[in-house]
Structure 1
Amino acid sequence: MEPEGASRHRERAPKRRVPVAAPPRMADPHPLFDDTSAAGGSGPPPGRGYGAPPPAASQYPPPASFLGEPVSSLAMAYGTSLASQGRDIVDRNIDRLVPVGRLKYYFAVDTVYVGRKLGLLVFPFMHQDWQVRYQQDAPVAPRFDVNAPDLYIPVMAFITYILVAGLALGTQNRFSPDSLGLQASSALAWLIVEVLAILLSLYLVTVNTDLTTIDLVAFSGYKYVGMIVGLVSGLLFGKTGYYMVLGWCCISIFVFMIRTLRLKILSEAAAEGVLVRGAKNQLRMYLTMAIAAVQPLFMYWLTYHLIR
């Protein structure tokens, strides 16, 4: 016989459950998607899990080159074409307003030409040949002909005149930025008025000449050379030196303008063989003398108040 405690212990022991196998799953006769997870299938490789190594570089598609695409190349070509067309339009408009090609001609100078031209402006009495030389129906560059007009000397003389005027005002304790600006603006305004008046006079007299507006600016700007010489003489020798040197420069610029402009304004009469005593040619002579006589007046008007 078994003891009573052993039988009780056997009755209280829990019953052990045996796992029951799950019934086999029936395949779906109508699957919605094909199973591509099998090895060796044609589908894409499975995604890498946590801690898995990165896929090989060959699995990524090569990056597309933006500049190598046809659309990009076409856009670049179109942009280049637009830029070139815009540059051509700007160049044409600039040439229409400011003839850059002609300006290059007026600045084609060298040191020898500048020295000879300055000597001609101050001592024009001994010069004999005033005719401008031509080559293939076009005037030669100023550096090859001292009689050709240029813009280098007038521009540099204008700037130097403003600087010398500032120096003269400074020696008299009258210098200020406003006074220097007023001096420069008044000189430029009188130059513009002078050129416009000459153009209007040539139109009223109906002069057929090859003088251009740039030529008139050049000839009108030559007087600043005499003004500079007169101002420097006034600063060094006082009013007596100013009046003596400025008087000489006024006579020189008068002779220079007469001998230069008579070949320009009276060229039509000389070509046609018309007598100078004709009414029309007398007007041209008076106009030439008036243009030459105005130069000394402007030289004195723009410098007398700077010498005290």
Structure 2
Amino acid sequence: MPDYVLLLLLFSLVVMYSTMGGQTGVTGTPQNPQPNPFGNTFYGAGSGLIRSGLEAYGERFLGSSSEFMQSNISRYFSNPQYYFQVNDQYVRNKLKVVLFPFLHRGHWTRITEPVGGRLSYKPPVYDINAPDLYIPLMAFGTYIILAGFSLGLMGRFSPEALSLQFTRGLVGWVLQVMLLKGLLYSLGSGEAPLFDIVAYGGYAYTGICIGVLARLCWSYSYYFVMPLMSLCMGVFLVKTMKRVLFSEMRTYEKRSSRQHYVLLFMALAQFPLFFWLGNLGL
């Protein structure tokens, strides 16, 4: 079996195992369960074994030193369950911020807390401005379901057509991530965690689902709702990317004009992306 396949399989195990360990945060505010020494021991041993395997195969695949691999794996894949620590209240409030950013009267900065002698960000369940992967994944799944339903109404449903729409949605998500990551790199700020950028890019599917639902209810409403959702997503991303730039860059004032143009391009890019992903069955 090729090394990159084993690398992907091990990474999938990390995400699945970490998500299973943090599922209690999805349905409500984290509680204080009874201590379970056996569970903690097995969890630590299992995650350590998977992490060691991931680092070993990563070193073979990239041909780099173990120190380099450990530092990069820790940066991007150390704590996937952080992005799934949500509850019902967070999901409702986050959807309001994403879909209607004009109505958000609070601040856009994230809340920090000291962890291990250094500052870290609070998980989404405690901070409305923290990125999560629960909403993007649920929105993407809803998008695929709506795509199948729309194809069925048009009499064009087939496993191949649904698979093509699934691939199309993934390509759109990747393009969004590349756009956001490229924006940060072009402005000299490429230190944002990859999972953060993936989460920010995935929020677009909430607005796309609203536009598709509007089209199913009344076809003409699509041409009003989809531009509105594109505009709201553009505003949300501009506010979010500005916060990332403010927190990570110290030369904001020197490059303010350039940043404004780049942020404007990012906001305008949401319109063709939304209409491309929203035109199901084409």
Same fold flag (TM > 0.5): yes
Deviation of 1:165 after TM superposition, in Å, equals 0.6
Determine if contact 2:84/2:133 at 8 Å carries over to the other structure.
yes
Bigger mean CA deviation after superposition, 255-264 or 176-185: 255-264
**Structure 1, unaligned runs of 5 or more:** 1-83
**Structure 2, unaligned runs of 5 or more:** 1-43, 56-69
Tell me the residue number matched to 1:176.
Answer: 158
Tell me the residue number matched to 1:124.
Answer: 101
Q: Deviations over 1:10-66 (max 9, x none)?
A: xxxxxxxxxxxxxxxxxxxxxxxxxxxxxxxxxxxxxxxxxxxxxxxxxxxxxxxxx
Task: Say which SS state the counterpart of residue 211 (structure 1) adopts.
Answer: coil
Deviation of 1:268 after TM superposition, in Å, equals 4.7
Deviation of 1:247 after TM superposition, in Å, equals 2.0
- The separation in 1 between residues aligned to 2:111 and 2:236, in whole angstroms, is 17
Greater helix fraction, Structure 1 or Structure 2: 2
Tell me the residue number matched to 2:52.
Answer: 92
Deviation of 1:91 after TM superposition, in Å, equals 2.2
Tell me the residue number matched to 1:157.
Answer: 139
Tell me the residue number matched to 1:133.
Answer: 111
Deviation of 1:237 after TM superposition, in Å, equals 1.2
Structure 1 residue 290 corresponds to structure 2 residue 270: no
Deviation of 1:94 after TM superposition, in Å, equals 3.4
Structure 2 CA distance for partners of 1:115 and 1:226, relative to 1, 3 Å: same
Deviation of 1:223 after TM superposition, in Å, equals 0.8
Tell me the residue number matched to 1:53.
Answer: none
Tell me the residue number matched to 1:111.
Answer: 88
Tell me the residue number matched to 1:232.
Answer: 213
**2:236 maps to which of 252, 256, 266:** 256
Q: What fraction of aligned residue pairs are identical, expressed as a percent? A: 31
- The separation in 1 between residues aligned to 2:46 and 2:139, in whole angstroms, is 37
Deviation of 1:198 after TM superposition, in Å, equals 3.4
Q: Which amino acid aligns with 2:167?
A: S
Structure 2 CA distance for partners of 1:289 and 1:111, relative to 1, 3 Å: same
Task: Say which SS state the counterpart of residue 138 (structure 1) adopts.
Answer: strand
- The separation in 1 between residues aligned to 2:98 and 2:47, in whole angstroms, is 41
How many residues get paired? 217
Deviation of 1:103 after TM superposition, in Å, equals 1.2
Q: Which amino acid aligns with 1:198?
A: L
Deviation of 1:295 after TM superposition, in Å, equals 2.3
Q: Which amino acid aligns with 1:221?
A: G
Q: How does the TM-score come out when normalised to structure 2?
A: 0.69
- The separation in 2 between residues aligned to 1:180 and 1:305, in whole angstroms, is 10
Task: Say which SS state the counterpart of residue 112 (structure 2) adopts.
Answer: coil
Q: How does the TM-score come out when normalised to structure 1?
A: 0.64
Deviation of 1:89 after TM superposition, in Å, equals 4.6
Structure 2 CA distance for partners of 1:248 and 1:199, relative to 1, 3 Å: closer
Q: Deviations over 1:104-127 (max 9, x none)?
A: 111110011001111112211121
Tell me the residue number matched to 1:223.
Answer: 204
Q: Deviations over 1:141-190 (max 9, x none)?
A: 10111111111000110011011011001001011000000001121123
Higher relative contact order (CA 8 A, sep 6+): 2
Deviation of 1:248 after TM superposition, in Å, equals 1.8
